[in-house]
Each structure stands twice: as structure tokens, then as C-alpha cells.
Amino acid sequence: MGYQNLVFPKDSLFLVTGGAGFIGSNLCEAITDMGYQVRCLDNLSTGKIENVNRLKDRENYTFIEGDIRDLDTCMKACEGVDFVLNQAAWGSVPRSIEMPLFYEEVNIRGTLNMMEAARQQGVKKFVYASSSSVYGDHPVLPKVEGQEGNLLSPYALTKRVDEEYGKLYTKLYGLDTYGMRYFNVFGRHQDPDGVYAAVIPKFIKMLINDEVPTINGDGKQSRDFTYIDNVIEANLKACLAPSEAAGQAFNIAYGGREYLIDIYYTLCEALGKKIEPNFGPDRKGDIKHSNADISKARNLLGYDPDYDFAKGIALAIDWYKEDLSKK
């Protein structure tokens, strides 16, 4: 239950790549709150300098502006590090369809550079971001590790390749790697702006501003929306997991199933708005339904998420109301 009471050796040093992004900055904040040292690596291509600035005065936080596509940068960043939480990547299925070569470079070569640097620098645990998109068109619900279908986007392919490298680095080199198959993570500090913004913060911001959101498709697609604190718990518990669990990937979700149209009306009700949405075409590369079986992560990592969708969305709405009122 939760992560605040997890204990690491007191001089532990964590490297969070992509630490200026949504998930990465939340990890940096949580780990520094727990009293451990954090080194954040980010090239600020999609990460936000504001996420660095809010932590930079903490004595146990340091920031390196650098790119995981450069092996020397990765080697320097991994010096003296105990645990790597590799979140650096470019997200978004539709954007990857537009930019497949770039996704290959960042998400595959960048992650491989980080694994190689971690191996050479003697890192204890290498935890990396994967994605539920690796399930592709496999129709069975809930999604279970080992039952994957045909991939539907370059983004999904990059994450599948990362998992294969993770498996090999454990098997060939003894680096303990753990893949986190995230399912639609949401929560504080998630960017509501831009063409590729995630749906929950985007809807919240538009509704607060009395704008009309557009839902892709009919709104009847379902997702296992996962609150950020569950993801922090999973990453930190993977750092404490036995080597027997290494070289594998794990579903990281709550295990629920929410329909997009229901979420939209939940947000309308919570924000006191009566705005009917527009409906647009389905997004290329998207899957219709996705929810997770999390029993593997429960059994092997001790993952036991505290936040269901209702609890998480209430916290997220409160955070966005406060954050947007400052702007």
C-alpha cells in the first residue's frame, strides 16, 4: 500500500531520466520528499523547465540538461547511481505515426544507451517506462502479460523493442531490468496543452474555460486510467524487487475500466458545467478497449495500488483548479 514507507539504503542515489516530464517530475518530487538523492536528466524537448524549477532548491536534487541519445551523457549521468528510473521518451501514438525515424532514435537508441551506461556503471536496478500500447490489436480483456497482438504504431514498436532489450540485458549481462507497462496515467503536473495532450487534463482545462472539447470516435472506448501515485509506487517497488523478477515487463494500472464518454460527463458534473462535446473521427493507431490484469505486478513486485479512478480524478480536478487559477 503506497510508497512513502518504503526504505532504501540512506545514501541511495536515484537517476530519473525524463525527470522534467509529467511522470518523471512526480518521481523526483516523491523520492526527494522521502529524503533520498535524486539526479534528474532531461533535454527539455517535451519536459518543462517549470518542473525542474519547483525542485531545484532542494539539497537532495540535481539537474543535468542532456540527451539520452548521447552515450557519453548517459555514462556521466549513471556515475555512482544505485537506481535508474528511465522515463525519458517521446510519447503519443499519433505523433509517432508522423515521425517514425525520430521515435526510433529517442525511444529505442536512447533507452539502449541508458541500459548500456547502467550496465557499465554497475547500477543495481534499471526500471524503465513501457506502455500498454504493446498489446496492439489483441482483443482479450483484461490485458495479460504474454498475450500481445499485432502492433499498431511506431510508438508501440519502440516500447516492445525496449522490453526485448531489457530481457536481454538481464539475461546476458545481469542488469536487473523491470518494464513498467503504463496504462493511461493521469494526475498533477500533466500538461493540458498542445495537440498531443492527454485527454483528462485537456478536458479539465477546456471545461474550466467553457470551451467545447472534441472526443475522438464515439466516446465508447474504454481505458484503465491510472493515478500518478500508483505509478510512483510501482517504480519504487520495482527498485526493491528480487532479481528473480528481473528481465520482465509488468502491467501498471489500477485494474478498472472507464469509458471516455462517462469520464467526460463525470468531469462536467464535478466542475459544474453543462457542455455537450463534439465528436471527431477515430484516431489512427488507437485501440478501442484497454484494461489491465495487475496480478503479475502484485505477486512479483508487491504492487498494491491505493488510488482507484474516482479517488484519483477527485485529486486531479482539485489540483488543476488550483493550478489553472494561478495562471
Q: What residues are annotated to the active site? A: 155
Place of cell 539502449: 112
Cis status of the peptide bond prior to 142, with omega within 30 of 0: yes
What number of CA atoms fall less than 13 Å from residue 305's CA on the CB side? 29
Cell numbers standing for residue 284? 489512427
What number of CA atoms fall less than 13 Å from residue 102's CA on the CB side? 11
Contact between 71 and 116 (Cβ < 8 Å): yes
Angle between helices 154-173 and 111-120 (to 10 degrees): 20
Strands (E), the chain: 13-17, 37-42, 61-65, 83-86, 125-131, 176-182, 185-186, 214-216, 222-223, 226-227, 248-252, 258-259, 278-280
Nearest-CA neighbor of 114 among 206, 23, 19, 50? Answer: 19
